Amino acid sequence: MRSEARPDRPRAIACAIDHEIGREIGRMMGRVFGNFGQILLVDLDGDRVRAERQPLPESVYRECIGGVGLGAWLLLRFAPAGVDPLAPAAPILYVFSPLLGTPLTTTAKFALVCKSPLTGRICDGLSSSRFALAAKRLGVDAVVIRGALGQLSTLHLDEDPQRCRVAPCPELAGLSAAAVSDMFQRTGVASHVSAIGPAGEALVRYATVSNDGRHAGRGGAGAVLGAKKIKAITVRGEAVAGVADPAAVRARARDLAARSQGVSTDKYRRLGTASNLETFDRLRILPSRNFQAAAIGAARAKRLAPAGLASAGEHTRAGCAGCTIGCDHRYGGQRLEYETQFALGPLCGVDDPARLLAAARACDELGLDTISAGGSLAFAMECCERGLLDWPLRFGDDLVPWLARIARRDGPGDLLAEGTRRAAELIGGGSAAFACHVKGLELPGYEPRAMQTLALGLCVASRGADHNRSGAYQADLRPGVDRYHADPARAPALVIETEDHATLLDSLILCKFLRGAVPEPWREGAELLRMVTGLPFDEASLRRAVATIAGLRHAFNLREGWTLAEDQLPGRFHDEPVRDADAAVDAPPIDRASLAAQVLAYHRARGRGPDGEATDPS
Amino acid sequence: MVTVELYGLPRLRAGAERCELAPGRLRELLAALAAALPGLVPDILRDGGLSEHALLAVDGRDLLTDPEAQIPDGAVLVLISAQAGG
């Protein structure tokens, strides 16, 4: 049995009426439509909260758009140089976008931005659904939270800054984000909640922040909220940003919704990203056993593919608020995306679908990033295999008890809660060579030795080894690209192209799963911004804005201590060949000198100096 | 014979996991594939070639584009969705 998601028609109509009203208010106030021209600055201290609005200049919207772009601009200004990501002075930012709140499909998203406690570099995650819509009605374009509370509390944000308040909630300690959300909904406290689980409370460096069953996963924003003793955030507001041309927005919303039902999104709608696993196994790009092999074999891949998962739990389908794609595939009620499937499956040697689903459920309940959790456990499994650790942990083991230890920093879990980079530093014995991270962020589910344009993308991505900020895997799977030997003359440009495309979508914000239905993203992105904001965006100004955002991210990292030495893969990828499911050599390792030269060429192409030093992005 | 393995969207459209075809040029193989698995037309196979939504790789490695490429007896071709993201 499958349940099908349906477009949210009544909400779209109500939204259109709201935008007519918002447009009139916006016109009277002379501001940019789609935005409010201000942020909410929230300072926490002990049991007190002080909130005030601060205006933003119009130029910021032209130069940084919104979402991750606006987030990078704000983080550079509000994070003190060199701040400890878990110190009270370190800010965490909820950043909205011009398209959020419009009837345009897949736009119900916000960016969550901070200095990552895992990497010490910029962290800009995205999360979806109704909390995003509710939060924008605070009447601001971002919420900047600084300081810390004295005890675990709920932070209530209100359209009226004087009504922002905190309420101690020691009784919620140890609960999952979903349980807090359910409790708040049942008791009428709030309909939509952004919350952390036990891992965030325990300052696990890859703890997530969750809302509506979705997660801002990578980089440990959950630990930043945990350090501030914020268990949950609720919001109340009625503000509407309005759009410059409501009729055009409505027409484009219908058009985009229709396109979102086409063949370019069929994979996401009909199959889900979990269908990648069998394909990637066949292409021998599926990392397994801590990147010791790039395939698990057809029989095992079938067990973890959607049909195998469905045998372990009923398959159902859902979608985010305001989304007409509906990519959310669940098995026995558990949402499963490819990255989770790879990280808690083949990467850890797990090939039992029930065991995989149980681990995914545990990560969601505990508030752990599935990629970093799987990566850290796979690293520890290999350490045990090599005799560097004497823990009773082997590839293929049940992950659930270990995930619980990580989330509570219990025993060995305390070390794994630090992530692979720090764990390798403490374990020693040459383990850094197979601690699979870049800048401290664990690698996603693509074998870089067999996708060498992606290898460069992983090295240079601003938040570390990351498939969402660098979509260079797409470049490797293009006709005419030799994915086993990156062309040094082409690879930097291909990486920049895919990075910039991702930045554009993450700043507007539009879901990346819509990208196949938007074949001319720069032209259409400019059109969307013109009809929503009224600002005279065109393709050229949009490309300049995206280049500015790349510069802002790099400037932040540079200020926080980045050097070229960070832009590299661990030794395994340069010293060991790719092996298939039978341990036979399938492809050679990555040439170290060639990749280093490509990294330099990438920074040069970004307009940076010989050591990667930034030009002034302001 | 040439074996074509189908994954992702091509498998969904075709309702089949594999297909055996006579060796020949790529364009001839694709025509035979369209005849054998008509569900692949038009989203995966279109106008005698691959659509923008699909990729074809020899044994899962090198992507094929040249319609005149000779596909030898015993070759295994892997037909996948072009959208790789996850």
Contact A118, A220 (CB under 8 A): yes
Mean pLDDT of all residues in A318-346 = 95
Quickly state the pLDDT bin for A495 (edges 50, 70, 90): very high
pLDDT at position B65 is 87
Q: CB distance from A267 to chain B under 8 Å?
A: yes
Q: Which residues pair with B3 in a beta bridge?
A: B20, B76
- Least confident range of A4-13, A435-444, A446-455, B37-46: A4-13
Quickly state the pLDDT bin for A469 (edges 50, 70, 90): confident
Quickly state the pLDDT bin for B75 (edges 50, 70, 90): very high
- Top CATH class, A453-605: mainly alpha
Of chain B residues 13-42, which have a CB less than 8 A from chain A?
A: none
Q: Which amino acid is at A614?
A: A
- Residue A178 exposure: Cα atoms within 13 Å on the Cβ side: 11
pLDDT at position A24 is 55
- Least confident range of A105-114, A296-305, A407-416, B53-62: B53-62
Here the CATH number for the domain that contains residue B52 is 3.10.20.30
Q: Which residues of A touch B65 (CB under 8 A)?
A: 479-480
pLDDT at position A12 is 46
Nearest-CA residue of chain B relative to A263?
B43
CA distance B10 to B82: 10
pLDDT in tens, A1-39: 333 333 344 444 444 555 555 555 555 555 689 999 999
pLDDT at position A5 is 36
- Top CATH class, A282-445: mainly alpha
Q: Is residue B60 part of a domain?
A: yes
Quickly state the pLDDT bin for A513 (edges 50, 70, 90): very high
pLDDT in tens, A218-240: 999 999 999 999 999 999 999 99
Q: CB distance from B82 to chain A under 8 Å?
A: yes
pLDDT at position A546 is 98
pLDDT at position B43 is 95
Q: Which residues of B touch A471 (CB under 8 A)?
A: 85
pLDDT in tens, A108-160: 999 999 999 999 999 999 999 899 999 999 999 999 999 999 999 999 999 99
CA distance A332 to A354: 9
Binary contact (A279, B5; C-beta < 8 A)? no
Q: Which amino acid is at A598?
A: Q
Q: Which residues of B touch A275 (CB under 8 A)?
A: 7-8, 81
Could you report how far apart the first and last alpha carbons of chain B are, in Å? 34
- Domain edges within chain A: 9-236, 282-445, 453-605
ipTM, interface predicted TM-score of the complex: 0.97
CA distance A434 to A589: 13
Mean pLDDT of all residues in A544-573 = 97
pLDDT at position B5 is 98
Nearest-CA residue of chain A relative to B8?
A275
The helix/strand/coil state of A128 is strand
Q: Tell which of B4, B6, B9 to mutate to test the A interface (max A CBs under 10 Å).
A: B9
Helical segments of A228-284, H only = 246-259, 266, 276-283
Mean pLDDT of all residues in A434-439 = 98
Domain that holds residue B40: 2-81
| Spatial CA neighbour of B30 closest among B40, B18, B16 | B40
Quickly state the pLDDT bin for A279 (edges 50, 70, 90): very high
CA distance A612 to A603: 6
Quickly state the pLDDT bin for A271 (edges 50, 70, 90): very high
Could you tell me which CATH number the domain at A9-236 has? 3.60.9.10
Number of structural domains, chain B? 1
Q: 3-state SS of A106-152?
A: CCCEEEEEEECCCCCCEEEEEEECHHHHHHHCCCCCEEEEEEEECCC
pLDDT at position A479 is 86
Q: What is the DSSP string of A541-569?
A: HHHHHHHHHHHHHHHHHHHTT--GGGS--
Note the residue count of chain A: 618
pLDDT at A349 over 70: yes
Question: Which residue do the tokens 């909400």 mark?
Answer: A11
Q: CB distance from B60 to chain A under 8 Å?
A: yes
Q: Is residue B86 part of a domain?
A: no
- Residue A451 exposure: Cα atoms within 13 Å on the Cβ side: 31
| Spatial CA neighbour of A5 closest among A324, A405, A478 | A324
Mean pLDDT of all residues in A514-522 = 94
Mean pLDDT of all residues in A340-353 = 98
Of chain A residues 427-466, which have a CB less than 8 A from chain B?
A: 445
Q: Tell which of B51, B61, B62, B79 to mutate to test the A interface (max A CBs under 10 Å).
A: B61
Binary contact (A283, B57; C-beta < 8 A)? yes
CA distance A312 to A333: 11
Give the global pTM.
0.94
